[in-house]
Structures are given as C-alpha cells and as structure tokens.
Amino acid sequence: MPHRPRRAIPAADLIVLPGSKCVRADLAWLRDQGWEPVIRRHLRYGGKLIGLCGGFQMLGVSIHDPHGIEGPVGTSRGLDLFEMDTTLLPEKRLCEARGRLVIEDAGISGYEIHAGVTSGPALAHPACRLGSGPDGACSGDGQLLGTYLHGLFDTPEACSALLRWAGLDAPAHCDIEALREDRIEHLADAAESALDVDAIVGLLGRPGSR
C-alpha cells in the first residue's frame, strides 16, 4: 500500500480488507495506521467485515513466510479473528472458480490467485462452495466472512446478498459485467473522437511499422 498520513476509518456498516501482494507488510501498515483497534471496535458494535484473499489471510492467527516469498523470512501475527494459520509457499494457485455463497445460496464467479495455504478449525464453516470444494470461512456470530475468491461482488445475485448481509434492506440491482462493458464502450468512443484512427491504422499497415 502507498504511504499516506494516518486517516480515521469513517463510520461504516461494512469493512472490506482487500487482496494484497505483500500481506505481512500491508498488515504491518494497517497496524501502523492505528486501524486494528478500530476494526475490533467496529465488530463490537455489530459491524460486518469481509476479508478477500490477502485480507482473508490477515484475519487468521498468524502468517508464515518460511521461504521469503514476499519479503524477509519470518512470521507475522494476524488479527486473530479466525482460528486459522496461513503459510506462504512458492507455488501460486491461479484458477477460475464458480460456486455458491453460504449467504442466501447466491451464485458467485471469479478467480483465485494466491501463494498462501490456509488451514485451521475456522475453515470448517466455509464462506462459499466452489467447484473445487469449500472455500474461506464465516464466523459463528455472522459478522465475519473471508474467502480467496476475487470477484466476490461481481454477480448481481452475490452483490445483493452481501449488501443485505451487511445491513442494507433493499440494495439496488447492480450488474458489474454490464457496467464494465458500458465503461469500455465509453472509453472506445472517447479514443475514437480524440484520435485519427484511420491514420493510426495506416501506420500499422506500413511495412516495417510496429
């Protein structure tokens, strides 16, 4: 994460800890910002928390990096919100995934990309069931959810289910895929209006052009 001055977390119903390429370093940064006690207070007052991929790993008891995958060899203390531990390994898991959330049995799709292997009793209560098997964890009190799945909010069904879980009574329907396609079309239109596309195509067609 980029270095920024300390800033308070605003009042929220839901906090999302996103993925990270340097989980231990980003967890140390989070603590340096003074956010760990704020997260615990958020949970004490009934707030919800989602950890995605690296953010999910942060919710455990510890994160081990015996091979120096993300930095110096060592172990970092996690937030200790899930009874589980993660070990970072050289082999990275990369795959597409589809399945169902435990929340409202909503359909989900996305992908996994991570170098960590997580184990512990918390995984006995998975957050979702993918084609490859159970994934992530949910807390018994219903306040915590963690998963390795990127794209958790991408299907309208899952997005609405998660927002209701977080406390929103009537979430608006949001089709992420349609929104993404619309933004791409806008970008293409802007590029076409600002550039001489015929000239560019002509240059690309010349012998020796790149």
Which residues are known catalytic residues? Answer: 53, 150
Q: What are phi and psi of 77, to 5 degrees?
A: -75, 130
CA distance 48 to 138: 11
Task: Report whether 115 contacts 94 (CB < 8 A).
Answer: no
Q: What are phi and psi of 155, to 5 degrees?
A: -85, 140
- 74 bridge partner residues: 65
CA distance 94 to 78: 24
- 87 bridge partner residues: 64, 117
List of E strands, 53-153 = 62-65, 74-77, 85-101, 107-119, 128-130, 133-135, 137-138, 144-147
- The dihedral formed by the CA atoms of 26, 27, 31 and 37, expressed in degrees to the nearest 10: 130
